[in-house]
Amino acid sequence: MEPMYSLVSKAVFHIAPERATELSENVFSTGEWALKESTVNGSWFCAIPQEKTLHISPAGLASIWSLSFVAMRLSAAAVRARRQTHPSGALSFSLNDDEFGQFLAFSTSLFKSDRSWPELLPRPKGDEPLSSEIGRATNLFLGATSWVVLHEIAHVHHGHEKLIPASERVRDEFQADRFATDWVLEEARNGIQREFRVLTISVAMLWIFLNEMTLGRDTEHPAAILRFREVAQHFHLKGRSVALEQIFYILTPILLPEFAAPGFDTPKEAFDWLYERLGEKFAV
């Protein structure tokens, strides 16, 4: 797992490179922080300000990586299928592919306990070109993980306490989500840069949805659908957005397998349909 830790330690600065200096000077103002392996069962990501450390579990990294790999494969498969149909035609999704199912099951099983690495699942490689499948999946994995890490950093940056009433913990979780999302998107230019960053945040949110579906809701975190709605308000993408189309292709078969997705004229219409169906399924 060591190569994954090395990649993640750099990625949190690279996801929004225009703010790397600000992250170093204003957030990590007390100097260099260390990234360490978490040994606490169920604690996938956490920041310890007294130790100036970020603790990340191997299971947390492996879970997000496996999910990112599935997301990249799903998106590519959907694009290929779309080319064979009219853009506004209905698109059939399926997770019947043995590898899709195996890798997704591996990702969700890690919420409960460590598992052996699937034989057919490749590992992320930071030196792979973006023209390769592994390169694109690694880029997506690092972006999604960076958002999760920035969420944990926000708890420290805002001085959030753990020994407070659950209602206040929920408030703090929303604030940490806003911090991470604003950090990634606030100064992002329009175009491919913003499109990619929105996609990475959505994969992080998908991971949160799967966590809730696997372990159930707790009293200290907002419901995943409420977090998704809050984060999505910051996307600000146009109707022909490539990211919104990819989000639709990725989240629909994983979170809404029971829904038949109709055809749409624009990715924005597809995303709005997804947004509404998620609200129905995960209503609180």
Reduce the secondary structure of the chain to three states and give it as a string. CHHHHHHHHHHHHHCCHHHHHHHHHHHCCCCCCEEEECCCCCCCEEEECCCCEEEECHHHHHHHHHHHHHHHHHHHHHHHHHHCCCCCCCCCCCCCCHHHHHHHHHHHHCCCCCCCCCCCCCCCCCCCCCCCHHHHHHHHHHHHHHHHHHHHHHHHHCCCCCCCCHHHHHHHHHHHHHHHHHHHHCCCCCCHHHHHHHHHHHHHHHHHHHHHHHHCCCCCCCCHHHHHHHHHCCCCCCCCCHHHHHHHHHHHHHHCCCCCCCCCCCHHHHHHHHHHHHHHHCCC
What's residue 207's pLDDT?
98
Pairing of strands 34-37, 45-48: unpaired
List CB contacts of 86: < 8 A, sequence separation 6 or more.
263
The per-residue pLDDT for 79 is: 74
Q: Judge whether 143 lies within some domain.
A: yes
Give pLDDT, residue 27: 81
**Residue 259's CB: how many other CB atoms inside 10 A?**
16
Is residue 222 in some structural domain?
Answer: yes
Q: Is residue 19 part of a domain?
A: no
Query: 37 in a domain, yes or no?
Result: no
**pLDDT score of 2:** 74
Q: Give the separation between CA 5 and CA 11, rounded to whole angstroms.
A: 10
Q: Which residues pair with 44 in a beta bridge?
A: none
53 in a structural domain: no
Residue 81's pLDDT is what? Answer: 73
Q: How many structural domains is the chain composed of?
A: 1
The tens place of each residue's pLDDT in the chain, 284 residues long, gives: 677 888 888 888 899 999 998 988 888 775 667 788 887 666 789 877 677 778 899 999 999 999 999 999 988 888 777 666 655 444 555 555 567 889 999 999 999 988 999 989 999 998 999 999 999 999 999 999 999 999 998 988 888 887 788 888 999 999 999 999 999 999 998 899 999 999 999 999 999 999 999 999 998 899 999 999 999 999 999 989 999 999 999 999 999 999 888 888 899 999 999 999 999 999 98
Angle 267-281/224-232 helices, nearest 10 degrees? 150
Q: CB–CB of 124/143 below 8 Å?
A: no
26 domain residue, yes or no:
no
Assigned domain for 123 exists:
yes
pLDDT at 160: 84
Residue range(s) defining the domain that contains residue 241:
60-281
In a domain, 161, yes or no: yes
Cα atoms found within 13 Å of the Cα of residue 257, Cβ hemisphere only: 5
